[in-house]
Amino acid sequence: QVQLVESGGGSVQPGGSLRLSCVASGTLLSVDAMSWYRQAPGKQRELVASITSGFRTNYADSVKGRFTISRDTAQKTGYLQMASLKPEDTAVYSCKAKTYNGAETYSNYWGQGTRVTVSS
């Protein structure tokens, strides 16, 4: 089994910054790709950013230029650096990891989520 544990959420004023972390542990050989999603109250979950094993990144238009996704492959950890935060960034942020289990098999896992509140 694989566990994903997120941390770094909290409350911040508009214009502030937060850094989210997502650590994968358990029975896995490596993390192939990592993604961050968010779900605001009353809205559907949306993809915020993703990063491949080759460090290719992708961002939602709403966060381009403000958020940066990164990873530490050896530590099986992903990060989401969020800057210039806006009230509309308020949501529960969850990480998703595609893990390599050996024998050409992959699995997807989700973290429990961490809440980000942007408010003055």
Instruction: Compute the distance between CA of residue 59 and CA of residue 15 in angstroms, rounded to an integer.
Output: 19
Tell me how crowded residue 77 is: count the other CB atoms within 10 A of its CB: 19
CB 96 within 8 A of CB 37: yes
Give pLDDT tens digits for 73-111. 888 999 999 999 999 999 999 999 999 888 888 999 999
Asked if pLDDT for residue 1 goes beyond 90, the answer is no
Instruction: Compute the distance between CA of residue 59 and CA of residue 76 in angstroms, rounded to an integer.
Output: 21
pLDDT for res 60: 98
17, burial (CB in 10 Å: exposed 0-12, middle 13-18, buried 19+): exposed
Which of 31-45, 50-64, 98-112 is least confident? Answer: 98-112
Asked if pLDDT for residue 61 goes beyond 90, the answer is yes
